[in-house]
Amino acid sequence: MLEITHLIKSFGTQRALDDVSLTLPQGQIVGLFGANGAGKTTLMKSILGFHPYHGQITLDGAPITPKNISRLSFATSEHSFFPNLTAAAHRDFYREHFPRFSDKRFRVLMDFFELPAHKPLRSFSTGQKNQFEVILALCQGADYILMDEPFAGNDIFNREDFYKVLLGILEPHETVLLSTHLIEEVSDFIGRAVLIRHGKIVGDVTAEQLEEEGKSLTAYIKETYHYRNDRVLRVLEDMSEEDRL
């Protein structure tokens, strides 16, 4: 279980994460939603130890250190691979450092996305780079797979394919924490939604709870975020009034 307790992260005087507490048991697909700058990426990077922070993050009761960091993997739209290396070279390299690296999964996903194994990654398109980033994260044998906007730049067909593959290949012990703005697209396959706003967790709901309440994920998010439907209309009215004057 990944447990985050009273996590506080500040950049200068700006508080990016404000007393965040969250528990992620194994075997869930969790959507992490929030506006730009809400703290999604900071939360993920803090979990991975890329940022210093106040509070506590533990994995099965133990702090996250180089000893257990391989139980977490990370796919980011910023990309974390080596652009000059080929996909095959990445496989060889990751195999040495992540003992649970799955060759089979790597092969299957490479075939599925039709990615070239012997071309340097710098020659891949943005969509292909995203796909490869996700492949690497899924093949490391990690129990917790953190994905930060992994499909930025991919077309809808590509993303649909990916969701189907993800559901098909995940093992029962694998947890995915998926940060995305594509709420409608992921609403069908996530089991839980966590909402973050101004660095605070403002909502945490399971798919079953939403079903019981008869709410869609989008409606729940809008409600939790106090989204005002009339906001745009009011601005337009104000502008036209100013024009009249």
Partner 1 sequence: MKQHLSVLGLFARSSLLRVLAVLLAMGGAEIFFFGRALREALVAYRADIGNGLLTPERLLDYTAVNVWFAAAFLLITLFLCLPGCEFGAHTGYTLRRLSVSENTVFLWQTVYNILIYLLLAAAQTLISYGLCLWYTAAVPAELVSNQTVFLAFYRSELLHALLPLADLALWIRNLLLLFSLGLAAALFPCKQRERRYSGSIIALVPATLLVFERGIGEFGHTAIAACICLMVVCEWVSFALVRGDGEGGEEAEEHA
Tokens 């945490």 correspond to 204
| Binding residues among 22-61 for partner 1 as defined by CB under 8 A | 48-50, 52-56
* Smallest separation (angstroms) from partner 1 to the CB of 103: 15
* Residue 72 contacts partner 1 per CB under 8 A: yes
If you search the block for the tokens 């104000």, which residue do you land on?
A: 238
Q: Are 79 and 90 in contact (CB under 8 A)?
A: no
- Only one of the segments 14-22, 25-33, 62-70, 106-114 lies at the binding site for partner 1 (rule: CB under 8 A); that segment is 62-70
Q: Verify binding: residue 220, partner 1, rule CB under 8 A.
A: no
Please give the Cα distance from 28 to 131 (Å, whole number): 21
204, containing H or E segment = strand 200-206
Among positions 11, 60, 62, 82, the unique one binding partner 1 when judged by CB under 8 A: 82
CB nearer to partner 1: pick between 96 and 212: 96
Subset of 121-160 contacting partner 1 (CB under 8 A) = 121-122
Distance, CA of 118 to CA of 209 (rounded, Å): 47
Given the complex with partner 1, which of 78 and 160 has the nearer CB atom? 78
Distance separating alpha carbons of residues 132 and 124, to the nearest angstrom: 9
Q: Which of 66, 168, 172, 214 binds partner 1 (CB under 8 A)?
A: 66
CB of 107 to partner 1, least distance (A): 20
Backbone phi and psi for residue 94, each to the nearest 5 degrees, phi listed first: -65, -35
What's the min distance (Å) between Cβ of 72 and partner 1? 8
Which phi and psi angles does 174 have, rounded to 5°?
A: -85, 135
Q: Which stretch binds partner 1 (CB under 8 A): 22-30, 73-81, 175-183, 233-241?
A: 73-81
Q: Are 121 and 48 in contact (CB under 8 A)?
A: no
Query: Between residues 41 and 163, which has the closer beta carbon with respect to partner 1?
Result: 41
Q: Percent helix, strand, coil in the chain (nearest 5)? A: 40, 25, 35
Q: Could you tell me whether strands 192-197 and 29-33 are parallel, antiparallel, or unpaired per DSSP bridges?
A: parallel
113 binds partner 1 (CB under 8 A): no
Binding site for partner 1 (CB under 8 A): 48-50, 52-56, 63, 66, 69-70, 72-74, 76, 78-85, 89, 92-93, 96-99, 121-122
